[in-house]
Amino acid sequence: MNDFDDLLRHAWQAAQPSTDSAALIRRVRRHRLRLKLRRALEIAITLGAVAMLLRPLAGAAVTPAYWLVMPFFVVYMPAAWWLLLRASRAPVEAAALDVSSYARVRLTQLRTGLRELRITRVAVLTLLGYAGAVVVGAFLLGDAPWREAASQLLLAAAAWSAALLWFCARRRRHALREYRAMRRLT
């Protein structure tokens, strides 16, 4: 039995790509920098949305665009941060576990990521549906400023939706490829 364990360990080590530690350290630093930049972007978008929602308290005029965008931000921002803050994170010790245990931890992370991508797609389609309903309502019941604000909202929603759907499709392909590889390791 011990010979089989040695053979399995040697086969696993032979299958591992050889990387020098400097390249690995650069990859880890680059990944951490990307995560920090992503979190900074999320915080900046949140602060911008809060500033926009609180403008009327500072004496700014309440325009039709404000009323059309406010419901989306009031619902979307708390939900987005709730999802971000409850996302599972792998313990640091997971990298030191045996291959099967690490693969199970990584599979859990990938399932969470795929679920978040699905939620993102639903949110994008909801935003697009909301913008479409606003346009229909504005053209049926509103005057020129409401129609213009609704049209701008629809254009912005369509642009964001296209970008996010492209991003989700790209991330999903990558996550599924890694998910299948991890499934083979368990």
Q: What is the pTM of this model?
A: 0.66
> What is the C-alpha to C-alpha distance for residues 181 and 18, in angstroms, rounded to an integer?
18
Please list the pLDDT of the chain residue by residue as tens digits (186 residues).
556 566 656 665 555 555 566 776 777 788 788 878 888 888 888 888 888 888 888 888 888 888 888 887 777 777 777 777 766 565 555 555 566 777 787 788 888 888 888 988 988 898 899 999 999 999 999 899 999 999 998 998 899 899 989 999 999 999 999 888 888 877
Supply the pLDDT for residue 22: 72
**CA dist list (Å): 22 to 25, 26, 118, 170:** 5, 6, 36, 28
> What is the C-alpha to C-alpha distance for residues 15 and 21, in angstroms, rounded to an integer?
17
Rounded to the nearest 5 percent, the helix, strand and coil shares of the chain are 90, 0, 10
Supply the pLDDT for residue 117: 87
Length of the chain: 186
